[in-house]
Amino acid sequence: MMYLYEFYHLFYDTLKKVYPEIQELNHLFFILTTHVFKCDKIKIILKLSIKEKIDNFIYKKLIRKLWELKKNRPIQYVIGKTEFFGMDFLVNEKVFIPRPETEELVSWIINDYKIKNSKNIQIFDIGTGCGCISITLKKKLPKIRSIHAIDLSHEVLSIARINSKLHNVKIFLRKVDILHNLIFLKKIKKYPVNIIVSNPPYIRVSEKKFIHPNIFQYEPFQALFVPDEDPFIFYKKIIYWIKKRFTGVVVYVYFEINQFIHLDFIHFMKKYGFTDIEIRKDFQGVFRMIRAKY
């Protein structure tokens, strides 16, 4: 048997070249151990301090997951879940791992509509992934008339479906590949106010060198990267759909964007007729989010 504090040292020695920052290593250690032991961080600290032994079953489980981390596999895929807005969401390699920046985008929408009459509002979450945006908005804005979560495959939508059941919310799941099909969704009614939210792929292939290996090795390529020659390809498809589908009603878009070309993106939005454009920085101080009216 091994003591938990001995596993901590093994954890550190094994991963220090992969994750050189001690704070990040500690963060990963507590995510893994709280998951495996099914307890909170305080109890893990207590187990470390009293030099508690690990039984053989738990030890083998920890070691298996440690080797996965050594191979650069993201901790969220290792434990099969991630936290978003204080809630757990199931994830696997079919879906992009939600980031804290996206929480800020969702907060923006919540703050814009929490005190408004939201009964005549519908939301479209394009590229829903694990469903974290749609589900969080439905939890925080329960009076919203309907939320439509759109993605390109049944495999992705099955994860969103599981998460919606886990959090006991009703969202409408729609299978559409927006690059190759228009999102007409003829059965959907027009409402006075329509919100389009999306965190589409926006990292240019040439920027891959700036990305941590555990991202591009394991997360779905199609959820991350766009061609250098057409970095707004997904936004163009969304905007084309808006122009075709939402005549005579108000549409607000909330997008995550590429920080390196945010000025180009503002020009792009103006070119397509959007007004009331506001851009915001994320917690890291880079321009990451935009809101606009059509």
Q: Work out the average pLDDT over 34-45.
A: 97
C-alpha angle 210/263/96, rounded to 5°? 45
| Token duo for residue 140 | 């925080």
Question: Of 178-182, 204-208, 269-273, which has the strongest mean pLDDT?
Answer: 269-273
**pLDDT band at residue 141 under the 50/70/90 scheme:** very high
Beta carbons of 281 and 288 less than 8 angstroms apart: yes
Is the pLDDT confidence value at 226 over 70?
yes
Is the pLDDT confidence value at 11 over 90?
yes
Class level of CATH domain 93-293: alpha beta
| Adjacent-strand bridge partners of 226 | 204
Q: Tell me, what's the pLDDT at 184?
A: 62
Any alpha helices (H) in 38-176, and if so which ranges?
41-49, 56-70, 75-79, 100-113, 132-140, 154-166
* C-alpha closest to that of 124 among 180, 176, 181: 176
- Average pLDDT of the chain, as a whole number: 93
Distance CA 113, CA 283 (A): 22
How many CB atoms are located within 10 Å of the residue 273 CB?
12
Is the pLDDT confidence value at 182 over 70?
no
State residue 119 phi and psi, 5-degree precision. Answer: -70, -25
Report the interhelical angle of 154-166 vs 132-140 (nearest 10°): 30
State residue 86 phi and psi, 5-degree precision. Answer: 80, 10
* C-alpha closest to that of 195 among 277, 128, 270, 113: 113
Ramachandran class of 248: left when φ > 0, alpha when ψ lies in -120 to 50, beta otherwise: left
Could you tell me where in the chain the CATH 3.40.50.150 domains are found? 93-293
| Token duo for residue 146 | 């309907």
Q: Tell me, what's the pLDDT at 64?
A: 98
